[in-house]
A and B are shown apart, each in its own frame.
Chain A
Amino acid sequence: MTSSTNTFFLLMANGSIESAELPEYNEIFIKYFFVHGQDWDKIAGLEEGSTQIGHKSIDQRQTIAFNFPLDITFKSTCPFGWPQLVVSCYGQDVFGNDVIRGYGVTHLPMSPGRHKLRIPLFVPESTSKMQKFFAWIQGRRPEYIDPRVLAHGEGREVTRVRSQGFLNLNFNIVTKDMRKLGYVTTTGESSSANISNQMTEINNTTLANLTQTLGFNPEQSYVGQTPRF
């Protein structure tokens, strides 16, 4: 086992890009990037990649299933700059150009456990009607040069976007040594919460006894039975 003098904690995240809901578009593939702060280091897994090209399902759902696995481990000394997943979905127009169909961004979940996320996808829009027209003529729609800017809050006020569709993700999160470094990410971990947990346990046992005594059992006669709580 590692010694207790660790000054960093680990964040292991695995999961998958489950499916996309982009009703208007077909033939979508997704590029993803993990973006994190300076204190963070990737120690295992891939920080970027791209999925297969998915088609819509033929039925009513019209989802594009990717089932693309994500698996990454980070280490850090400070939660600031918590990793974010930035996705950009590309499709093809009639001329075979790759066209952006949606950007999305989300933080990795922080509390250990399984998480399902549904994130909105949006595309930047031309600022004027003129640019819109030329973009349409040239087949070059506005897109971010580096989608990583989405993970930063600055400089967004100048962009106009149109949101269209959603992306479904799931994550399993495991953290190591966060509690040891003093970071509390869930209420269940603190000492005071432990007491309340014990309290609920006690309550649960009383409740169990209660249901045993009051539970409907035709073979049991309730007359003369003393309650056990």
Chain B
Amino acid sequence: MAEVHIIGQILGGSDFPDNSLYCKWSLSAGSGWRLLQGIKEGQTHVDNPTYEPFAAWSHPIDLHYTTKGLQGWPKFNFEVWHQDGFGRTELYGYGSCHVPATPGFHELECVTWRPIGSIKDQITSYFVGGGLQLKNPELAIANSESYRLKTVSMGKVHLRLNIILRNFDKYGVEF
């Protein structure tokens, strides 16, 4: 069995229309993958930066996977949320990115998007606030038939990841 260690941080988010952001994250992997140690989902704190428009989350990630095959390499799913002064939350973006397959240090930027819906929905959310969110985000991110979805681009999620692989070369896997 080959092993993969994913160690690093969800560093923060930038380029969103407003600050005071938090992020819900989870990792999904194929059926051949088993999580030995670590937590594969969580939520960061809410950060409201003073100077730079960069919400710092510094959220540690430490996962130990074991796998029987290469298919279904782990993938991060993000949901970035905005919290206003009254504690109301609003969806700011969905994003997803694969864990790099090469060992070593990786600095990743994951771009995000958010559904906008019809003109009527947009006008409503402009005046009333809030916005649309997906009933089943996992399905939308994984689904190959998300082409009817109207979205608008939002900011980026920044990650610093270190990948350690073990016993892959025993099985002739090249990287």
Where the two chains meet, the residues of A that have a C-beta atom closer than 8 Å to any C-beta of B are 23-24, 37, 78-82, 84, 104-107, 109-111, 119-122, 125, 150-154, 156-165, 181-187, 189-193
Q: Are B169 and A151 in contact (CB under 8 A)?
A: no
Chain A's closest residue to B83 (CB) is: A160
How many chain-B residues does the 8 Å CB contact rule pick out? Answer: 45
Q: Are B46 and A161 in contact (CB under 8 A)?
A: yes
Q: Are A183 and B48 in contact (CB under 8 A)?
A: no
* Given A23-B51, A185-B104, A107 contacting B164 (CB threshold 8 A): no
Chain A's closest residue to B104 (CB) is: A186
Chain B residues near A107: list those with CB within 8 A: 7-9, 60, 162
Chain A residues near B48: list those with CB within 8 A: 125, 160-163
Q: Which 9 A-B pairs have the closest CB atoms?
A: A120-B56, A157-B43, A163-B56, A110-B162, A192-B174, A164-B50, A159-B45, A160-B46, A163-B49
Where the two chains meet, the residues of B that have a C-beta atom closer than 8 Å to any C-beta of A are 5, 7-9, 11-12, 22, 36-39, 42-51, 54-56, 58-62, 64, 83, 102-105, 162, 164-170, 174-175
Q: Are A157 and B22 in contact (CB under 8 A)?
A: yes
Q: Are A153 and B49 in contact (CB under 8 A)?
A: no
Other than the given A79-B5, A79-B164, 12 more pairs (CB < 8 A) read A79-B64, A84-B60, A105-B9, A125-B48, A153-B42, A153-B59, A156-B42, A156-B43, A156-B59, A160-B45, A181-B166, A187-B175
Q: Are A111 and B166 in contact (CB under 8 A)?
A: no
Chain B residues near A105: list those with CB within 8 A: 9, 58, 60
Q: Are A153 and B47 in contact (CB under 8 A)?
A: no
Q: Are B43 and A192 in contact (CB under 8 A)?
A: no
Q: Are B9 and A106 in contact (CB under 8 A)?
A: yes
CA distance A189 to B56 in the complex (A): 33
CA distance A105 to B12 in the complex (A): 13
Q: Are B49 and A184 in contact (CB under 8 A)?
A: no
| Chain A to chain B contacts (Cβ below 8 Å), 10 pairs | A79-B5, A107-B8, A109-B105, A153-B61, A160-B48, A163-B49, A181-B166, A183-B164, A185-B164, A190-B103
Chain A residues near B168: list those with CB within 8 A: 184
